[in-house]
Every structure is written in structure tokens, then in C-alpha cells.
């Protein structure tokens, strides 16, 4: 249980670009990827904006026939995984396949396929429903198909914890490696829920921003004028590896994962617990596992959804955990730039933070213009900040009361 777990590869398909360098370029430029929805006609919808992945061609990453048989969320996961394995310079062979696992989660899965095939059944009858609907729809298929595509025969399952999903996938993958059940795990999350029913449902719950006339500024975490999150899509993947295994093959180690905290609010299906008690538990657990004091943390990548309740509650929780140091700790939200990617969020945000840690740049919270007295921390407003930091925490909280905090450190021998 004392094995060190390191990150040796990263992959990303995001609204800011189709690989990690493009994602990072968008972060450096503090660019918004939010615009009017193009995947369907949003005219009748209260929310008409989202952060879409543009220019993605699944045939560039997988066989055309297999692409047609798989949902968009699976296609995105395959693409991000292949980039992550390339960046790790790791090849799966028949000799090592049993030691390679895949843990990729999704909060919603193939929602668009369920909707489209229901219409087929209504219009043409049940016999015309696609035989591929079930594997297209179920959330475990991203990890399932990725393992088939890359030939990994190790541990494979799919955590589903709404917007905490990717965080759980990465944290559980770390535990599997620590206890010696795998040497390498492809871990992360994927989501493609920008669909008619997806937007309609979240809007009906009054969770989405309706700033349709100015999409680029709609996601504004911690700002006093925030009024909802903006849906995003994408996939983020980390290659986690046993330290000794990584060293033995001469891998380029980009970070070490040292802490994982997980808790449940047991409070409400959509609202965070009062005073952020569940988030406090998760953050404290991650710090304890890492053997770190609160004042030693260099940066916090917040869940920061841009909803009134979440941002206020997360701020309270951060102040509870970090005390006076909370006012010195840089805190920012990538969701201001590429929206809320739901089950993929924790992985994409870990990719951004690892890149920032290695480049000495803290991502900004863009669209921050009106301070909120209840959100009074250093949110790195509008412009990325050049600053060296050797550790960061990434928070992910989900409907149902799920809380995850991951803690990474700069790798050192």
C-alpha cells in the first residue's frame, strides 16, 4: 500500500482543442470556448449556449465502422486515451496487457443515442431500434471499448458519480496501483451531453446560464453576477503508473498523485451540504493521505461551476480547511473557459493543473468582474499568473452529494 503512483501521460479532447497542447494554449490565452449551440437548433430553449468540441472526426482515431457503433462520449475517450499513451511513450503488448487497467467514467453516457432511438421506435416501431443501442447508451462502454481498442486486460470498471466521476476514476486507479493489482492504469472521464434533452433537463432544473446574448462571458465562477453553469463536453485521460515500473522503463514522469479524498454529503440530490461539510471532509482526507499541512498547498483548482450555491459553499469549505491561509492560496476555475464537462471535468482540470505546475503558470478564472462578498478569496481573476508551485488540489463535486479531492505534487526522486 506504500507504492508511489506517478503520472506519465496525458490526453485531452476539449472545447479549447483536440489535444493537450491546444487545451493548454487556450488556457494560456485565457480564451473562452463557449458559444451558441450548433449540434442542434437551440432556438426554442431557455439556454442556447454551450462549450462544444469543434472539428472532432472520430475516424481520425478509430475504425469508421466502430465509430458508427459507438457514442460520441466513447469516441472522445478513445481519442484522449491514444494521445495519453503516446505522451507516456507506452505500448501495450501481450506480455504486459494483464498489468494495464482502464478506469474511465462518465456521468451520463450515451444520452443522445437513447433520445434518437426512442424517436425511431415511436415513428417506425420497436423492431427498428438499433441493436447497438444498449452498448451505445451504457456509461461503462467508454472504459469497455477503450480496453478493447488498446488491448488492456487489467482492472476495468466505470465509476459514476455525476460531476465527481473523473475524480473518482483517478483516485480509485491510484488505489489499485498502490495495492499492486496493476502497474499502469488509463484513468479519467468523458462526457458528451450537449443534446436537446440534456440541455432541456438541466435548464428545467435552473442549473444553466441563460446569458445567450453573450456566451463567452456566461460562465463566471465566483463572480457576484453568476447565474448558472454552461454545459461542456470532452474527455480527459491520465496514464497512472507504479513509480518503480515507470523508472524501470525510463518514463517521463510529469507529476505524482499523493492524495485522494472522497465523501458524501447525505443532504440533497442537487444542492451542496450547508457550510460545505462534505467538501471539507474530502479536502482534509486528501491532505492527510498526502502527509501535507494545509499551508503547504500551492494551488487549488476549484470545482467552481458558476452556480450561486456551489461557488459560495465551496468558498466556505476552502476557508474551513485552510483557515487564514485560504486568503493566500490561489484558487481558480477552468470551467470559466470550457464550461462544465460533467463526468470529464476532474480529469481535464487535472491535465490543466499538471501542465500549469510544470510550466509555472496558474490558470485564470475569466469573466470575473464583480466581487461577491461571500466569495472573497484569490480567484486569479481574468489573467493567468506566472508563479511556481509544486503541489495542487483539484476539487470535483457532483449531484447526489458526491465529493472528490485529488492532490498532486511535482515529481521528485
| Catalytic-residue membership of 295 | no
Contact 149, 67 (CB under 8 A): no
Please tell me which residue in 47, 158, 340, 402 is annotated as part of the active site: 340
Please tell me which residue in 245, 303, 375, 402 is annotated as part of the active site: 303
* Exposure on the CB side of residue 86, measured as CA atoms within 13 A: 11
Give CA–CA dist 382/384, Å, rounded.
Answer: 7
| Catalytic-residue membership of 47 | no
**Residue with grid cell 488509463, as numbered in its chain:** 186
Q: Which helix (H) or strand (E) holds 105?
A: strand 100-105
Please tell me which residue in 47, 158, 163, 375 is annotated as part of the active site: 163
| Catalytic-residue membership of 402 | no
Give CA–CA dist 213/206, Å, rounded.
Answer: 18
Q: For residues 155, 407, 188 and 378, what is the CA-based torsion angle, rounded to 10 degrees? A: 170
Contact 411, 253 (CB under 8 A): yes
Strands 35-36, 49-50: pairing kind:
antiparallel
Query: What is the b/e burial string over 336-374, where b = at least 16 CB atoms within 10 angstroms of the residue's CB?
Result: bbbbbbbbbbbbbbbbbbbbbbeeebbbbbbbbeeebee
- Lay out the sheet containing 5-13: strands in order across: 156-157, 100-105, 184-191, 234-242, 5-13, 255-264, 402-409, 391-398, 299-301, 331-332
Sign of the dihedral through C-alpha 290, 292, 297, 300: positive
Backbone φ, ψ for residue 74 (5° rounding): -70, -45
Positions marked catalytic = 163, 303, 340
Amino acid at each position: 500500500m506504500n507504492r508511489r503512483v506517478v503520472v506519465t501521460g496525458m490526453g485531452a479532447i476539449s472545447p479549447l482543442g483536440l489535444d493537450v497542447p491546444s487545451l493548454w494554449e487556450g488556457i494560456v490565452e485565457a480564451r473562452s470556448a463557449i458559444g451558441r449551440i450548433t449540434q442542434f437548433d437551440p432556438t426554442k430553449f431557455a439556454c442556447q449556449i454551450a462549450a462544444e468540441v469543434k472539428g472532432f472526426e472520430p475516424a481520425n482515431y478509430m475504425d469508421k465502422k466502430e465509430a458508427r457503433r459507438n457514442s460520441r462520449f466513447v469516441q472522445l475517450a478513445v481519442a484522449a486515451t491514444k494521445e495519453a499513451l503516446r505522451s507516456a511513450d507506452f505500448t501495450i503488448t501481450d506480455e504486459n496487457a494483464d498489468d494495464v487497467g482502464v478506469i474511465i467514467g462518465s456521468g451520463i453516457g450515451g444520452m443522445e443515442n437513447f433520445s434518437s432511438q426512442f424517436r425511431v421506435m415511436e415513428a417506425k416501431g420497436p423492431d427498428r431500434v438499433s441493436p447497438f443501442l444498449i452498448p451505445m447508451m451504457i456509461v461503462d462502454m467508454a472504459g469497455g471499448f477503450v480496453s478493447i481498442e488498446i488491448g488492456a486486460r487489467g482492472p476495468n470498471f466505470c465509476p459514476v458519480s455525476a460531476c465527481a466521476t473523473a475524480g473518482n476514476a483517478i483516485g480509485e486507479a491510484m488505489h489499485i496501483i498502490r495495492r499492486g493489482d496493476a502497474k499502469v492504469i488509463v484513468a479519467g472521464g468523458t462526457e458528451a451531453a450537449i443534446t436537446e434533452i440534456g440541455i432541456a433537463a438541466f435548464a428545467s432544473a435552473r442549473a444553466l446560464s441563460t446569458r445567450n446574448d453573450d456566451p463567452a462571458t456566461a460562465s463566471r465562477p465566483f463572480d457576484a453576477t453568476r447565474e448558472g453553469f454552461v454545459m461542456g463536453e470532452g474527455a480527459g485521460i491520465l496514464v497512472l503508473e507504479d513509480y518503480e515500473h515507470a523508472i524501470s522503463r525510463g518514463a517521463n514522469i510529469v507529476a505524482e498523485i499523493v492524495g485522494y479524498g472522497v465523501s458524501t454529503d447525505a443532504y440533497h440530490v442537487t444542492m451542496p451540504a450547508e457550510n460545505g461539510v462534505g467538501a471539507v471532509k474530502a479536502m482534509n482526507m486528501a491532505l492527510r493521505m498526502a502527509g501535507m499541512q494545509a499551508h503547504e498547498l500551492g494551488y487549488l483548482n476549484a470545482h467552481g461551476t458558476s452556480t450561486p450555491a456551489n461557488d459560495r459553499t465551496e468558498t466556505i469549505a476552502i476557508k474551513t480547511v485552510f483557515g487564514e491561509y485560504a486568503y493566500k492560496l490561489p484558487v481558480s476555475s477552468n470551467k470559466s473557459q470550457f464550461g462544465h464537462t460533467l463526468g470529464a471535468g476532474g480529469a481535464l482540470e487535472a491535465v490543466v493543473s499538471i501542465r500549469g505546475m510544470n510550466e509555472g503558470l496558474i490558470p485564470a478564472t475569466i469573466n470575473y468582474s464583480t466581487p461577491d462578498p461571500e466569495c472573497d478569496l484569490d480567484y486569479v481573476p481574468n489573467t493567468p499568473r506566472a508563479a511556481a508551485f509544486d503541489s495542487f488540489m483539484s476539487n470535483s463535486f457532483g449531484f447526489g452529494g458526491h465529493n472528490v479531492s485529488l492532490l498532486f505534487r511535482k515529481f521528485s526522486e
